[in-house]
């Protein structure tokens, strides 16, 4: 019995040591692979793919049906011409890998879903459901248009917010003696969001042999942010005239910070009349009604006391 226990303990220690050795080898190979991917792509962080949620599966199903109705959607293109949709997709960063044809088909799918929802509510006899037969299909048709426009607008606002810090960092790297491409490769790793996506794509286009001026023009097409366009146009002009790039980045960062301050002041100035309007037409009448209501209640109470005394 003792020999059996000793043998099992020995086998356990042997297998556990093999496990530790293989785990160490796996960890080393994993770090080597991550380092190789980092050198090739320039990305430091890698996200683990999570299981799909029911919402994600529903979105994928709608996108799949969107491909089936793409031809119909390209014919029914009210307020969403193909060239407009292409422009919105470029500025929004092509969410969900949408193409123009798929987007046009998604509109039709959601419009049909809206019609079925309106018909279902009409059959059940909901109030004003007769208007829903028209309203719900319109909501389904215009919802993806509004969402895509909102996504493009938020992405451009994020670029505007991150751009000054990005330019300062690139300017410091350029002043240290690095080239523009090398500085962009190093700096873009420490930023997240649309700014990283745009300059990573720019670097990839340069690596693939796209002329620099053509790559700059593609950046201009994908972004209509005024500050970003001002930067790219300054880079194009500096490339043609031979102006030092480090000076260009530094001046553009200062200009953008000044423009951002002016934008904040403008928003604050616009907010003051809105606050005054709300105070005048919402807060003040509510306070007057509350005070008047208390006065009326007190008067009714005093009148009741006076009536009881005479009884």
Per-residue pLDDT of the chain (311 residues; tens, 9 = 90+): 667 777 887 888 888 888 888 888 988 888 888 777 777 665 555 555 566 677 777 778 888 888 888 888 888 888 888 888 998 898 888 888 888 999 999 999 999 999 999 898 888 888 888 888 889 999 999 999 999 999 999 998 888 888 878 887 887 787 777 777 788 888 888 888 888 888 888 888 888 888 888 888 888 888 888 878 888 887 787 777 776 776 777 777 777 777 777 777 777 777 777 777 777 777 777 878 888 877 877 777 666 554 555 55
pLDDT at 1: 60
CA distance 139 to 115: 10
CA distance 159 to 152: 11
CATH topology classification for 159-262: Receptor-associated Protein (1.20.81)
pLDDT at 76: 85
pLDDT at 111: 92
CA distance 20 to 246: 51
What residues does each domain of the chain span?
Answer: 56-157, 159-262
Contacts of 74 by beta carbon, 8 Å cutoff, 6+ apart: 82, 100, 101, 104
Handedness of CA 239, 243, 244, 248 (dihedral sign): negative
Q: Which of 235, 239, 231 is nearest to 164 (CA)?
A: 231
Query: Phi-psi category of 125—alpha, beta or left, where left has phi over 0 and alpha has psi -120 to 50?
Result: left
Residues in the chain: 311
CB of 119 within 8 A of CB of 54?
Answer: no
Q: CA torsion, points 95, 97, 98, 102, in degrees to nearest 10?
A: -150
pLDDT at 41: 65
Residue at token pair 């009448």: 285
CA distance 156 to 154: 5
Task: Indicate the pTM of the whole model.
Answer: 0.67
CA distance 225 to 153: 9
Structure tokens at 163: 């751009």
């Amino acid at each position: 019995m003792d020999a059996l226990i000793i043998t099992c303990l020995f086998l356990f220690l042997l297998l556990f040591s093999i496990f530790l050795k293989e785990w160490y080898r796996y960890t080393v190979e994993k770090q080597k692979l991550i380092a190789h991917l980092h050198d090739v792509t320039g990305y430091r962080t890698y996200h683990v793919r999570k299981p799909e949620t029911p919402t994600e599966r529903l979105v994928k199903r709608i996108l799949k049906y969107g491909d089936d109705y793409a031809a119909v959607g390209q014919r029914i293109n009210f307020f969403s011409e193909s060239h407009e949709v292409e422009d919105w997709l470029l500025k929004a960063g092509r969410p969900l890998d949408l193409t123009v044809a798929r987007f046009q088909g998604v509109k039709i799918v959601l419009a049909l879903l809206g019609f079925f929802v309106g018909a279902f509510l009409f059959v059940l006899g909901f109030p004003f459901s007769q208007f829903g037969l028209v309203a719900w299909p319109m909501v389904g048709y215009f919802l993806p248009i509004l969402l895509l426009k909102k996504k493009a607008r938020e992405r451009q606002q994020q670029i505007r917010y991150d751009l000054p810090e990005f330019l300062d960092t690139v300017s410091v790297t350029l002043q240290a003696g690095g080239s523009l491409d090398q500085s962009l490769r190093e700096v873009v790793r420490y930023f997240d969001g649309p700014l990283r996506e745009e300059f990573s794509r720019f670097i990839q286009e340069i690596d693939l042999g796209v002329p620099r001026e053509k790559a700059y023009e593609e950046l201009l097409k994908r972004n209509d942010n005024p500050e970003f366009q001002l930067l790219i146009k300054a880079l194009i002009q500096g490339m043609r005239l031979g102006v030092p790039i480090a000076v260009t980045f530094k001046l553009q960062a200062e200009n953008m910070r000044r423009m951002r301050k002016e934008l904040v002041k403008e928003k604050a100035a616009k907010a003051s009349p809105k606050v005054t309007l709300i105070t005048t037409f919402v807060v003040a009448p509510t306070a007057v009604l509350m005070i008047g209501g208390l006065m009326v209640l007190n008067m009714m109470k005093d009148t009741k006391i006076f009536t009881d005394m005479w009884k």
